[in-house]
Structure 1
């Protein structure tokens, strides 16, 4: 799974310029035991601001502060999605749009994300959406490691779909 720093970095990178500026101002204006001076964020890019967040609030504490600030500037969807795995965030679209399911199942079996019985059960289904629902139900419920493997497979088997979902958030 991605580190907290990478999750924050991706979230800040996806903010509009105006919302990123609001975020930086909210960070400077934030009250509490650890304060961030304006000079640390003024004119800085999302990478530098991510480093400030992690160095000021620790990698474990920075996501909560980031989420708090996103809510303060009314970026509620970004706050909600902070730390949400790509395959969870895009479950509906992936269920609708993935087509190369047999190759994906082969690799999930090969990487031991699913067992032979589950592989055979899903493979026998007729409708792609039904197969994808079963993958989510039977393979991805085991946690982020399984989701990471699934995403790697998707990146190989459905690269344009993954790129489209990343681009369109």
Structure 2
């Protein structure tokens, strides 16, 4: 009985907190994973990066703007950024990024996934169709 009361109270609190808010705002508050899941492809950004790591290493063209963004967002330190940028090929740069510890956290994967969807949408589409 106490569990039912707790659920009713939580539901009542939720109803009060969500009044006069658009449905999308409510969804983002109620479903914490919402921001990390692409609604069109039903995949988490971290799952995307992990699943397609090898293809991304080979296929991402001109990754330098991505590295710049990751430095700006503090995913990469100045030292890591310099190490990656010093590598001779885009494939080696992407390998260092994707095989290293830099993308362990979901927010870092969100940045990469969002960047790729915006800057290289055909690559993302192609990978998701496989």
Mark yes or no: TM-score above 0.5: yes
2:48 to 44, 68, 86: 86
The secondary structure found in structure 1 opposite 2:74 is coil
Larger relative contact order (CA 8 Å, sep ≥ 6): 2
Question: What does residue 68 of structure 2 align with?
Answer: 106
Question: What does residue 151 of structure 1 align with?
Answer: 113
1:10 to 31, 42, 60: 42
TM-score by length of 1: 0.49
* Residues 86, 2 of structure 1: alpha-carbon distance in 2 compared, 3 angstrom cutoff: farther
1:139 to 94, 102, 114: 102
How well do the aligned residues superpose, as a CA RMSD in angstroms? 2.7
- 1:83 deviates by 9.5
**Cα contact 2:45–2:113 (8 A) shared by 1:** no
**Cα contact 2:71–2:81 (8 A) shared by 1:** yes
Unaligned stretches of 5+ in structure 2? 1-31
Unaligned stretches of 5+ in structure 1? 12-81
Alpha-carbon displacement from aligned partner over 1:30-62 (angstroms, at most 9, x marks no partner): xxxxxxxxxxxxxxxxxxxxxxxxxxxxxxxxx
1:121 to 70, 83, 100: 83
Give runs of ≥4 in structure 1 deviating > 2 Å. none
